[in-house]
A = this chain, B = another copy of it.
Amino acid sequence: MDIIQISHYLDQLLDIHNIKDASRAVNGLQVERTGDIKKVGLAVDACQATIDMAIDAECDMMFVHHGLFWGGLQPVRGAHYKKLAHMMEANLGLYSAHIPLDVHPVLGNNRQLADVIGLGNLQEFAFHDGQHIGLRGTIAPKTGHELGGMLSEALSANVRVIGDGVIRSVGLVTGGAGKLLGEAIREGLDCFITGEGDAYQFHDAMENGCILMFAGHYATETGGVKAVGKHLEEQFGLETTFLDYPTGL
């Protein structure tokens, strides 16, 4: 099975042609390579560190959440050259899925995070640019302190909890979605969980009585790539390895 075939399968699995995203996400096959794929490296970010880890681990391709093109149309020089040159020299391919990986109902980052906190009665949440990019649901009542502690332990990450009180309903959007706090307020949810946000959201949370949690951009987005990796193992017998490179952000 070569990278064109796997990419075609993943395109369908993650529905990348129908889900909207920033143009710089460039969902799908990002860097071609030749020959059969036997081992896939799973990473949140396609950065120099994870590329080198993939090469050391003798991966044939990487499957990532954040690809190589966030800098937009740019010359192949400096850090961008170095990454592409290492990949091509090692014949290492790359597939990237951004929002399609966040929102997949079973394998997605949102769903994986929902499972971590035992979120039930799941519904679509956070309508943004024509589609929902989050989930909402209910949990057995917990204080903000308790839920923050549970998250912190499960994700091995610092979790910043803003506000306190009893939580029964939660909206969540993995990654950097602090700006969507307003959606949770509008829907009257007790708590909004995301990876990171801006100082501007602090007062909105406090003054509107919605507990806000920043659980880390990286930490909230490891679930999706791991779940897709497991799916590829089961479906095609591919070997996978998780290339962990936490940023603490």
CB distance from A217 to the nearest CB of B (A): 4
Partner of A199, one of B74, B198, B249: B249
Digitize A75-93: 1 where CB-to-B-CB distance is under 8 Å, 0 elsewhere. 1111101101100110000
Of A44-52, A110-118, A120-128, A235-243, the segment with at least 4 beta carbons within 8 Å of chain B is A44-52
Contact A45 B203 (CB under 8 A): yes
Select the stretch in A25-33, A55-63, A99-107, A164-172 that faces chain B.
A25-33
Binds B, one of A65-73, A140-148, A222-230: A65-73
Partner of A198, one of B75, B78, B160, B196: B196
Complex: A195 Cα to B202 Cα, angstroms: 15
With most chain B CB atoms within 10 A of its CB, the pick from A32, A75, A82 is: A75
**A67 CB to closest chain B CB, in angstroms?**
9
So how many copies of this chain end up in the complex?
6
A18 beta carbon closer than 8 Å to chain B: no
Q: Contacting A48 at CB < 8 Å: which of B77, B89, B195, B203?
A: B203
For A249, list chain B residues within 8 Å (CB): 160, 198-199, 202
Contact indicator A48/B207 (Cβ below 8 Å): yes
Asked if A247 is at the interface of the complex by the 8 Å CB criterion, the answer is: yes
Q: A202-B249, A206-B49 are in contact. Are A32 and B81 (CB under 8 A)?
A: yes
Cβ of A56 to closest chain B Cβ, rounded Å = 18
Q: Are A78 and B199 in contact (CB under 8 A)?
A: no
Contact A29 B75 (CB under 8 A): yes
Interface residue from B47, B84, B196 paired with A203 (Cβ < 8 Å): B47
B76 in contact with A248 (CB, 8 Å): no
B199 touches A196 (CB 8 A): yes
A interface vs B, CB < 8 Å? 23-24, 26, 28-32, 45, 47-49, 66, 69-70, 72-79, 81-82, 84-85, 88-89, 160, 176, 195-196, 198-200, 202-204, 206-208, 217-218, 247-249
Can you report 25 residue pairs joining A to B where beta carbons are below 8 Å apart?
A: A26-B74, A26-B75, A28-B75, A29-B75, A30-B75, A30-B77, A31-B76, A32-B75, A47-B203, A47-B206, A48-B207, A69-B73, A76-B84, A78-B208, A79-B207, A79-B208, A84-B84, A84-B88, A88-B89, A160-B248, A176-B199, A198-B249, A199-B217, A199-B218, A199-B247
